[in-house]
A and B are shown apart, each in its own frame.
Chain A
Amino acid sequence: MRAFVFTDKALAKHAGQFVWLSIDTEKAQNAPFAKKFPIRAWPSFYVIDPKKETVALRWVGGATVPQLRKIFADGARAAGGGGQAAGGALARADALYGQGDYTAAGKAFREALTGLSPKSAQYARAVESLLFCMQTTGDEPECVKLARKALRELRHTASAANLAGSGLDCALGLPDGVPGRAEAIAAFEADVAGVLADPSLVLVADDRSALYGSLVSAREDAKDAAGAHEIALAWVANLDGEAARASTPEQRTALDPDRLNAFLAAGEAEKAIPMLEASQRDFPQDYNPPARLAIAYLELKRYGEALAASDRALALVYGPRKLRVLAVRADIYKGMGNAAGARKTVEEALAYAEALPPGQRSETTIASLQKLLATP
């Protein structure tokens, strides 16, 4: 978003519409914000009413410029007090969604949707928010049903990618043996492939990338290694094309995590090395290139180079992300057969996790680290 969308000059005319705040959740100074406004996905966008300090609207995930404009319009309207009946129900749903109460928000979004036409400006946003609530609460069956219904209504819109991808993810999340699971997966795979092949749909690069990732998961679920590999190669080719079109080092580097995932899925981890070395040269203070190099070298079992990259990442990393860097480091030690090094790294991670401030501290993470240490 920062490298591709927020650099679009078409957004300049909205400058006077809001006070614009950027929050890096890895920074300790932003922990109070994260505690006040629960965050489950990155990026996320919030419109906040400054008088009451309540969320008027929340959007989870990336957005194109046209989608952002809708969000601005909806957000300004919601912060102004709601409006008509459906708008009032939607405002309630948005507020609950902003508080992170996904069960209550889901119920409120359902109510709001009964008063919204599929052609209305808010319908797609309400559907996508409800899908996120369902995914967060683990309601895959309802997620599958809603994605299927909404796809019929919004097939050729910017929402189609999210609906098809979420539907496929939810179908894959259904327990094995559930009647209709295989059919649902097959139908959503076709939908996702259709979205990827539709030249009229403008997608954010990482949303397109996530669709390829879901298709790979579907083929893996079907134990179709050849099919998964074929899609992974198409994924790599797509992202290589995106990288070739990048007009700045920021844009090129922003594709690195998706490209690394694609290279790993295709069994081509070695191709990530020159890409990440270039990013490391362009952004020497960014911990991400060496952190990703550690992952690529680990995959290639080049443990010495993996550890050296991990050292460089650890010297730069801050915030909760350090836990991810330590996780990879523990795996590097395991790969080297150094159980003591792996254990010491997990102990360091636990101490770090416990010292994080509220808003960054995760009890789930702490519990998983404790469990890991308790395992012989």
Chain B
Amino acid sequence: MRLHRLMPLALAVATVAGAAASTPAEKPVLPWIEDDYPGALSEARARNLPIFVEVWAPW
């Protein structure tokens, strides 16, 4: 990963179009839990599995 692709939030910079884009996939291959860390934590503890987290933003 390249640091120059991080998105600064300062208003002074307004011409950068965006970093890596992500739009929702049509058919998820993996059983993702959406936006529920406490839920994923409970399930992981119950099933004795680590959590794999995809951190993304819709831009």
Contacts and interface: CB of A to CB of B under 8 A. Distances in A.
Contacts, number: 264
A33 B17 CA distance: 26
Interface string A57-70: 00111100000000
Interface residues on A, range: 35 or more
Nearest to B36: A21
Contact of B53 (A46, A210, A264, A362): A46
A26 B6 CA distance: 15
Interface string A22-42: 111111011011000101111
Contact of A79 (B14, B32, B50): B50
B17 A365 contact: no
A349 B44 contact: no
A330 interface: yes
Contacts of B23: 2-3, 250, 253-254, 283, 286
B9 A364 contact: yes
A342 to B, nearest CB: 10
A170 B17 CA distance: 22
Contacts of B59: 26, 257, 288, 291, 321, 324
A295 B2 CA distance: 23
Given A21-B33, A50-B41, A349 B11 contact: yes
B18 to A, nearest CB: 3
Contacts of B41: 50, 53
Contact of B19 (A56, A257, A346): A257
A10 B35 CA distance: 24
A49 B45 CA distance: 9
Contacts of A50: 41, 44-45, 49-51
B14 A6 contact: no
A76 B7 contact: no
Q: Is the interface of A mostly helix, strand, loop or mixed?
A: helix
Q: Is the interface of B mostly helix, strand, loop or mixed?
A: loop
B1 to A, nearest CB: 2
B40 to A, nearest CB: 4
B29 A162 contact: no
Contacts of B45: 50-51
A25 B50 contact: no
A3 B53 CA distance: 17
A87 interface: no
Contacts of B36: 21
Contacts of B1: 41, 44, 59-62, 128, 132, 162
A368 interface: yes
A366 B5 CA distance: 21
A42 B10 contact: no
Contacts of A278: none
A47 B29 contact: no
Interface stretch (A12-20, A106-114, A224-232): A12-20
Given A26-B57, A288-B59, A372 B12 contact: yes
Nearest to A321: B59
Contacts of B49: 17-19, 50
Contacts of B19: 41-42, 257
A157 interface: no
B30 A6 contact: yes
Contacts of A20: 30-33, 40, 51-52, 54
B44 A19 contact: yes
Interface in A60-110: 60-62, 72, 75-76, 79
A67 B52 CA distance: 14
Given A169-B4, A261-B17, A23 B29 contact: no
Interface in B16-42: 16-37, 40-41
Contacts of B50: 18-19, 47-50, 56, 75-76, 79
